[in-house]
């Protein structure tokens, strides 16, 4: 199978590069620069290598670097942002703090004659995000693109090494897909024959062999990710898999019962439901800091799973529905932590399982859905709204209490009902309510009220790494607001979140 190596130097959107490669039916895998040698790269038979971005300055003392020999294997290399600067340094060029305090956002660039820019207009828009720039080209390299403030927006050695200061992987780069395609097909000679059915076949075979004779426990939340992970592992190991659904008391309205009904008869899977609301809420008493909430929930999940594993007998592995946005936001490798997901950064240091199995760890949400369809999971479940593992705990700002949970469940259900009944042409990819810790004055029946402010959130996205707030019709928002303030006790005011990701994240905590 032809494949591309995405060498990870700690950027927040590194797997987005792999995703863009996969979209063109070429398999890409992300590996940390720490775990790769020239010998291992040569042995894998990669068709090309992409150096990713990263948050550090390449000239800093402890900045991430790889062996130059990796670039001397004759395999085509494309450096992006930090990756471009690293290539410049490896070959004797110079990188310095950028003039004009760097470039951020959409920038026009022009290019010359270069394989990377075949059929790309001479003038187009790219997405820049850099504080450093290549200020002196390496010997035998030429600048192939520039912007008003960046003389080396791209460079090439005219053979097999290419570099761009901008980010072709983000949708804001007008011809980013074409530029990556030129590298994949024009430079690397890929054919584009990979698809999700191939991924599924390879994954099932891998776990059939790796977990042969072993018992596994799957942490099933009923969401898309854990459901797909459960069915995939069930296909691989069958009765050696037990799915444990932990009702932590932080679910949406009627969700626990729906999950149990769905999975009792689905794919003949073994399912255990654990009602642990009291212990989760007890652990969260008095806790207001979001990261602490996530870590408490992450650890408590593990302890419940360990307890259930003891009842089953010896269980070797814990299966989780971790996907790449969970990993990258939790701070993978040299990346900065945005928020610790309960199943990644929220895991305790010591667990009783021999290991953790994460079959979807390097997939995006839409790719997970595609795998689910390949597995024959019902569309209703595959297309289900994303719901974070910590549940409503991170949609309640401040301390989590039973009273707040009751308020939020009702308000969230109303908002979701209104969107479902509106049958919009383009439904948001995720929508929910957030109970803020802000109380405001209101008036009902000529009397003063002092209740919570509720925020409604809806976003449109294809990968959940970036997202735009959804322009929901005012009439829909008006109906939702009217119903919530009239039907839910304790809410005085409803607001709508109009912030995209970035600078915000999809969830509030």
Active site residue 190: no
Dist. CA 404–CA 394, nearest whole Å: 12
Nearest to 140 by CA among 154, 117, 158: 158
- C-alpha span between 315 and 308 (Å, rounded): 10
Residue 212 token pair: 């042969």
User: Which residue in 481, 459, 461, 482 sits closest to 472, CA to CA?
Assistant: 459
Tokens 């720490």, residue located? 34
Cα Rg for the chain, rounded, in angstroms? 25
Cβ–Cβ under 8 Å, residues 108 and 123: yes
Residue tagged active-site, from 66, 111, 126, 167: 167
User: Which one of 66, 111, 150, 169 is the catalytic residue?
Assistant: 169
Non-local CB neighbours of 269 within 8 Å, separated by 6+ positions: 230, 231, 234, 241, 243, 263
Write the DSSP assignment of 427-469 as a string of letters: --SEEEEEEEEEEEEEEETTEEEEEEEEEEEEEE-SSSSSBEE
Which tokens hold the place of 492?
């005085």
Q: Measured at the alpha carbon of residue 12, what is the angle toward residues 179 and 368, in degrees to the nearest 5?
A: 80
Residue 39 designated active-site: no
| Catalytic residue from among 66, 81, 188, 243 | 81
Backbone φ and ψ of 16, nearest 5°? -60, -35
81 is a catalytic site residue: yes
Task: Enumerate the active-site residues.
Answer: 81, 167, 169
């Amino acid at each position: 199978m032809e494949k591309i190596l995405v060498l990870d130097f700690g950027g927040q959107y590194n797997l987005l590069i792999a995703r863009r490669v996969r979209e063109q039916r070429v398999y890409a895998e992300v590996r940390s620069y720490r775990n790769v040698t020239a010998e291992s790269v040569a042995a894998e038979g990669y068709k090309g290598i992409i150096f990713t971005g990263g948050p550090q300055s390449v000239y800093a003392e402890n900045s991430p670097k790889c062996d130059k020999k990796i670039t001397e294997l004759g395999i085509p290399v494309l450096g992006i942002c930090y990756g471009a600067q690293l290539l410049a340094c490896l070959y004797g060029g110079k990188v310095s703090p950028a003039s004009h305090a760097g470039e951020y956002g959409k920038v026009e660039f022009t290019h010359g004659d270069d394989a990377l820019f075949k059929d790309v207009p001479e003038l187009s828009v790219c997405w820049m995000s850099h504080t450093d720039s290549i200020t002196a080209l390496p010997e035998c390299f030429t600048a192939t693109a520039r912007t008003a403030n960046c003389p080396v927006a791209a460079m090439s050695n005219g053979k097999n090494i290419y570099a761009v200061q901008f980010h072709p992987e983000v949708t804001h780069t007008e011809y980013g897909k074409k530029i990556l395609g030129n590298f994949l097909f024009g430079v690397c000679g890929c054919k584009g024959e990979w698809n999700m059915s191939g991924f599924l076949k390879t994954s099932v075979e891998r776990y059939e062999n790796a977990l042969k004779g072993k018992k596994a426990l799957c942490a099933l939340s009923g969401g898309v990710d854990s459901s797909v992970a459960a069915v995939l592992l069930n296909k691989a190991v069958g009765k050696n898999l037990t799915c444990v659904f932990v009702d932590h008391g932080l679910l949406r309205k009627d969700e626990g019962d729906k999950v149990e009904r769905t999975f009792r008869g689905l794919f003949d899977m073994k399912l255990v439901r654990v009602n642990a609301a009291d212990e989760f809420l007890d652990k969260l008493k008095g806790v207001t800091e979001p990261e602490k909430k996530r870590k408490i929930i992450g650890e408590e999940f593990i302890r419940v799973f360990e307890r259930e594993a003891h009842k089953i007998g010896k269980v070797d592995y814990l299966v989780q529905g971790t996907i790449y946005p969970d990993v990258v936001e939790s701070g993978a490798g040299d990346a900065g932590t945005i928020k610790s997901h309960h199943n990644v950064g929220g895991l305790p240091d010591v667990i009783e399982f021999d290991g953790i199995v994460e079959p979807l760890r390097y997939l995006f949400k839409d790719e997970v859905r595609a795998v689910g369809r390949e597995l024959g999971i019902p569309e209703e479940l595959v297309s289900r709204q994303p719901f974070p593992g910590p549940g409503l705990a991170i949609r309640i700002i401040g301390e989590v209490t039973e009273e707040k949970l009751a308020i939020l469940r009702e308000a969230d259900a109303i908002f979701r009902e209104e969107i479902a009944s509106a049958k919009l042409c383009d439904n948001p990819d995720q929508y929910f309510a957030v109970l803020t810790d802000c109380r405001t004055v209101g008036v009902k029946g000529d009397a003063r009220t002092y209740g919570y402010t509720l925020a409604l959130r809806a976003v449109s996205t294809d990968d959940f790494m970036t997202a735009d707030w959804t322009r929901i019709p005012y009439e829909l928002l008006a109906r939702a607001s009217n119903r919530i303030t009239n039907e839910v006790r304790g809410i005085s005011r409803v607001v709508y979140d109009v912030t995209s990701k970035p600078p915000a994240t999809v969830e509030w905590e």
